[in-house]
Structure 1
Amino acid sequence: MKVIILAAGQGTRLRPFTNDRPKCMVELKGKPLLHYQLTTLKQCGVEDKDIALAAGYLQEKLVAPGLVQYRNELYEQTNMVSTLFAAEAFMQPNEDLIISYGDIVFEQKVFQKLLDTEGEVVIAADLDWYELWKIRMVNPLDDAETFKMNDEGKVLELGKTPQTLQEAQAQYIGLIKISANKVADFINHYKNMDKSAIYDGKDYKNMYMTSLLQDLIDSGWHAQAALINNGWLEVDSVDDLAAYEKEDKVII
């Protein structure tokens, strides 16, 4: 297994906390978000040699001794998919590839659920997302994205703007597994996508991760949801930090 943590984010909605550090180094209850993740990964038996950081903004402020780091030199002009593929050399075609956003923290049970779920691409998603979103914002649907599945948990659509709650059966949490036998295909798929196309309003270099996942689904990949019930947090804004402090909403 190889784990790539996307750690290039500038975190503009977390200013001023990100004025002097990348988003993943913002502290929640006195501990950087990245360190929560690394603690969980260690508890799950993942060794440092199998974890890489895909960095960019203020990379020199990352505190992660012993971890290999890759750099997206164009982090200011690109998005997280470009950052992920800056670490392409770390991807091994005979090992599962775990992709994790740098602004989330999660419990061991969440990571284990991802590992235990089978599919060409496995997408961690929270069935109880609405309760967390109510803590974070006034109108949860404003910031939610579609997540549509069939009765077997096969993901059909994600990452669009929902018109109703029924279109958000769960919420993607920013944690993905590409099965070992599909890693090479995953790399090739991305490289062979139409570089002149627009993906959910973004060009190739700025596409969202959900746009890449949807393209895989539309191309016939079996995307399976690893369904969870809470056990994670996303820190995307100053309001998120304040809300978690107020609710004492810390899971680790």
Structure 2
Amino acid sequence: MTKKAIILAAGRGSRMREMTNDRPKGLVELASKPLVAWQIDALRSAGIDDIVIVTGYRGEQFAPYADRTIPNDDWANTNMVSSLICAAAEIDGPVIISYSDIVYAPSIVKKLMAAPGDTALAYDKDWLTQWNRRFEDPLSDAETFRISNDNILTEIGGKTNSLAEIEGQYMGLLRFSSQTIDAILSVTTEEERPKMDMTSLLMRLINAGHTIHGAAISGGWCEVDSTSDLRVAHEIVDEGQLTLEA
């Protein structure tokens, strides 16, 4: 049973501008609560009792929020995959992996926990509703996402100019096992991991024959990658579309 979560929170979040001058991105506040506190409340409500945060920029500020912290000392020169590898020893069973700039309902965590297989991710079938609020042209940010009828991921992270190639939105919430980490280490090299992003890693796993299951959701979350995203997130919370109700 999944009882542990790892939040990847090493980055500064430069697109948040002056809001991250004195704090990491995960501690920017949404409705008077830091983003990471939203995540922790959702994870605890879903039954997670052990939360680890991988830190970097101003990482000491996360200490009050985590059961343990693990530093990514080279956070300024590496991507999300390196932060994940920093915490590889913590993935000794099924573990929830969360980005630090997303907010989600406990029900999404529970659905991801219930997905089959060693590796799974949550994805939003109704992604375009939120992307239309975030971007004048949703395709300027969206990437390919294809999934089979039995919820097996077949493609992710490619550039596209067609909505037909986007069957959902990867939201930065995954479930990995120790077998997933073994697979990651076998299909990537130590030299390429520092510059590899998560969707490239997932596509590498797919191409190597590793099965990634999808947990489909419809709304109930948001991503805060910029100051304009934060405004949209406040609107979503105010409208009651995002709560921490289980």
User: What TM-score, normalized to structure 2?
Assistant: 0.91
2:22 counterpart residue number? 20
1:205 counterpart residue number? 194
- SS of match in other structure, 1:195: coil
Unaligned runs of 5+ in 1: 198-202
Aligned-partner Cα distance in 1 for 2:65–2:232: 31
Number of residue pairs the alignment of both structures matches? 239
1:221-236 aligned at under 5 Å gives the runs 221-236=210-225
Residues 98-139 of structure 1 show CA distances to partners (whole Å, capped at 9, x for unaligned) of 111010010011111101111231110000000001111111
Taking a change above 3 Å as real, the CA distance of residues 196 and 22 of structure 1, as seen in their structure-2 partners, is: closer
2:143 counterpart residue number? 145
Aligned-partner Cα distance in 1 for 2:140–2:126: 16
Residues 4-29 of structure 1 show CA distances to partners (whole Å, capped at 9, x for unaligned) of 10011210000111111111000011
1:191 counterpart residue number? 185
- SS of match in other structure, 1:191: helix
- SS of match in other structure, 2:75: coil
Unaligned runs of 5+ in 2: none
Aligned-partner Cα distance in 1 for 2:65–2:122: 27
Amino acid at match of 1:133: W
1:10-49 aligned at under 5 Å gives the runs 10-47=12-49
1:172-183 aligned at under 5 Å gives the runs 172-179=170-177, 183=178
2:227 counterpart residue number? 238
Taking a change above 3 Å as real, the CA distance of residues 241 and 194 of structure 1, as seen in their structure-2 partners, is: closer
Taking a change above 3 Å as real, the CA distance of residues 223 and 190 of structure 1, as seen in their structure-2 partners, is: closer
Residues 143-172 of structure 1 show CA distances to partners (whole Å, capped at 9, x for unaligned) of 111110122121100011122001110000
- SS of match in other structure, 1:60: helix
Taking a change above 3 Å as real, the CA distance of residues 222 and 69 of structure 1, as seen in their structure-2 partners, is: same
Taking a change above 3 Å as real, the CA distance of residues 125 and 57 of structure 1, as seen in their structure-2 partners, is: same
**Contact 1:120 1:221 survives alignment (8 Å):** no
User: What TM-score, normalized to structure 1?
Assistant: 0.89
Note if 1:121 corresponds to 2:119. yes
Amino acid at match of 2:75: Y
Question: Deviation above 6 Å: which 4+ runs of structure 1?
Answer: none
Aligned-partner Cα distance in 2 for 1:3–1:227: 20
Deviation at 1:195, TM superposition (A): 3.0
Percent identical among aligned pairs is 38
Aligned-partner Cα distance in 2 for 1:244–1:39: 17
Residues 36-70 of structure 1 show CA distances to partners (whole Å, capped at 9, x for unaligned) of 011111111211xx210011111022253451000
Amino acid at match of 2:100: G
Aligned-partner Cα distance in 2 for 1:63–1:138: 38
1:70-85 aligned at under 5 Å gives the runs 70-85=70-85
Q: Root-mean-square deviation (CA), in Å?
A: 1.7
Aligned-partner Cα distance in 2 for 1:122–1:208: 17
